[in-house]
Amino acid sequence: MQKTLGQKIKHLRRSKNLTQGELGHGLVTPSMISQIEADKASPSLKLLAELADRLGVSLDYFLNEIQAKTEVNGTLKSARALMEAGKFESALKLLLELLNDQTVHCPSTEIRLDVAQCLEKTGKTEEALALYDEIHRNCISRGEYLYCVKALRAMGQIEFEKGNLILADFHWNKAAALGLRELGGENDLLSDVLLLLARSQNRLGSHADALETLKQAKSILQDQSDAKKTAVLMQTYCEVHRDLGLYKKAEEYAQDAISLYKSLNMPVEAVYMTATLAQILDENGRSEEALNLLRNCFEQSDSDVMENISYLHSVIARIFMRLGMFDEAQSHCEKVLVLGDNDHDARIRAYRTLSEISFKREQYSQAIYYCEQLIQMGQLQNRIAELARSFALLSGIYKQQGNYASATETFLRMQKVVETNLREITVS
C-alpha cells in the first residue's frame, strides 16, 4: 500500500537521523510533528514546504499525498451525506470502493463502522452484526476502545430491534463497562450507551440496576446541554417507576418527557409518551381520565402520525377493554397487528387484550390462541414476568372450561419455561 503523508515524513526523518524536535525546531513542537507523522494532523502548505526543505525533498513529493487525502475525504463526505439522506445502498457502494482501493490510505475502522451501518439499514443485519463483532474484536486488541464501544452499542441496537433483549443487554453492558473505564471524556457516547442499557435492564425486570444506570447517565448529562437525551432520561425514569407501581413519580416523569419532546418538535415521541401517561393513569384506576387524554391527543395531533403508532393503539385498546367497550378495543388491537412493526411491547399488549376479551366473551379457543402467541413472544424475548402472567391467564381459561387437567399441565409447563428462561439469563 502507498505510504501516507505522515509515514513519508517519518521515514525521511529517520533516514536523516533527525529527532522530532530537530525536524520541527523553530516551526512547531515535537508533539505536533508526532501528530503529523501519525496522520492525526494536517500541516499547512507553508509548514510542509519547510519540512520538505529540511528533509531534502521537493514539495511536489508531498503534494501528491495531500491530493489523494483530499480525494478520500471528499468521497467519504459524499458517502456520509448519502447516509444522512437515507440512501444507504449508494453510500455503501462508495464506502466499499474506498476500502478496496489499495492505493489510498483512509481511516479504515471508521469506514468499516459506516459500512456496517449501511448493511444494517439495507436489511443485511446478520452481515452487519458480523462486521461490528469483527471491528470490536480487532479494536479491543489494539486498545482502540472508542470504536469498540461504538460497535457494541450498534450490536445491542440490532438485537434490541430483533426482540433479543438478553443479547442487547449483554452488548450494552459490555459497552458501558468499557466506556466508563476507558473513555472518561466521551460523555456523549457514554450517556447514549447508559440510557440504552437502562432500558434493557428495566425490560428484563432488573429495575434496581436500571435506576443505578440512570443515576450514572443523569450525572453525565448534568455536564451537557442535550435536551433530547434529557427527554429520553425522563422517559426511561417514567418506565421504570411505572413498572415498579410508583405511579405518582411515573406520572411526573411522563409529563416532563412530554414537555421536552414538544419543545424539541418531536411529535411522534410526544404522542408516544402521552400514550404512556394514559397507560399510567389507567393502571392507577383513572381509565376515563386516560381515555379523555388520548381522545384529546387524537384531535390535536397529526392523524397520519397517530394512526401509525402501534403503541398508541395498544394502550387505548386496554382502556376500552377495562371500560367494557370490547368492539372498540378489538378494533385497535387489530390495527396493532396489521401494522406489523417492531414494537414488541405493543404486540404483546394487543395479544393480551384480545385474549382477555375472548375470555370474557367465552370464546375460549380464541382466548387460548392469543395466550399461546403471548407465551411465544415472552419466550423469544425472555420476558419472565410476561410469561408468568400469560401462563396464569391460560390456566384460568382452562379452569373456566372445567378442563383442570390442562390447567395443571399449564402450571407445570410454566415452571419449566420460566426456569429455562431464567437459566438463559444467568448464563448470558
Number of domains in the chain: 1
Band the pLDDT of 307: cuts 50, 70, 90: low
- The conformation of residue 301, written as its DSSP 8-state character, comes to S
- Kindly write down the DSSP assignment for every residue of 186-254, as one continuous string: -HHHHHHHHHHHHHHHHHTT-HHHHHHHHHHHHHHHTTS--HHHHHHHHHHHHHHHHHTT-HHHHHHHH
Least confident of 159-163, 234-238, 307-311, 395-399: 307-311
pTM for this structure? 0.71
Q: Does pLDDT of 244 surpass 90?
A: yes
Residue 113 lies in a domain: no
Average of per-residue pLDDT across 97-103 = 70
Q: What one-character-per-residue DSSP string does 249-267 give?
A: HHHHHHHHHHHHHHHTT-H
In angstroms, the CA 255 to CA 169 distance is: 27
Q: What is the pLDDT of residues 157-205, one digit of tens each?
A: 999 888 788 899 999 999 999 999 998 878 889 999 999 999 999 988 8
Confidence of residue 261 (pLDDT cuts 50, 70, 90): very high
Residue at 335 is within a domain: no
What pLDDT is attached to residue 40? 81
Enter the DSSP assignment of 221: H
Alpha-carbon gap, residue 140 to 133, rounded angstroms: 11
216 lies in some domain: no
Residue 352 belongs to some domain of the structure: yes
Per-residue pLDDT, 48: 84
pLDDT(209) > 90: yes
Please report which confidence band the pLDDT of residue 8 belongs to, taking 50, 70 and 90 as the band edges: confident
Taking 50 as the threshold, does the pLDDT of residue 428 lie above it? no
What's the confidence (pLDDT) of residue 231? Answer: 97
**Residue 351 and residue 70: Cα distance in Å, rounded?**
56
Considering the domain boundaries, does residue 189 fall inside one? no
Sign of the C-alpha dihedral, residues 415, 421, 422, 424? Answer: positive
Q: What share of the chain in percent tops pLDDT 90?
A: 45
Residue 103 CB contacts under 8 Å (≥ 6 apart), including other chains: 1, 2, 68
Domain membership flag for residue 283: no
Q: What is the CATH number of the domain that holds 371?
A: 1.25.40.10
Provide the domain limits for residue 380.
343-428
Crossing angle between the packed helical segments 60-84 and 108-121, to the nearest 10 degrees? 20
User: What confidence category does residue 386 fall into, taking pLDDT thresholds of 50, 70 and 90?
Assistant: confident
Kindly state whether residue 413 falls inside one of the protein's structural domains.
yes
Residue 304 confidence (pLDDT) above 60? no
pLDDT-based confidence at residue 105 (cuts at 50, 70, 90): low
Tell me the three-class secondary structure of 153-185, residue by residue. Answer: HHHHHHHHHCCCHHHHHHHHHHHHHHHHHHCCC
In a domain, 2, yes or no: no
pLDDT digits (tens, 9 = 90+) for 345-364: 889 999 999 999 999 999 99
Euclidean distance between CA atoms 184 and 179, whole angstroms: 7
- The whole-number pLDDT of residue 81 equals 84
User: CA-to-CA distance for 296 and 425, rounded, in angstroms?
Assistant: 41
Least confident interval from 100-114, 121-135, 207-221, 398-412: 100-114
Calculate what percentage of the chain has a pLDDT beyond 70.
90
What is the pLDDT at residue 427?
46
Instruction: Over range 202-224, report the average pLDDT.
Output: 93
98 pLDDT band, cuts 50/70/90, is confident
- Split at pLDDT 50, 70, 90, the class of 58 is confident
Element (H, E) at 417: helix 404-427
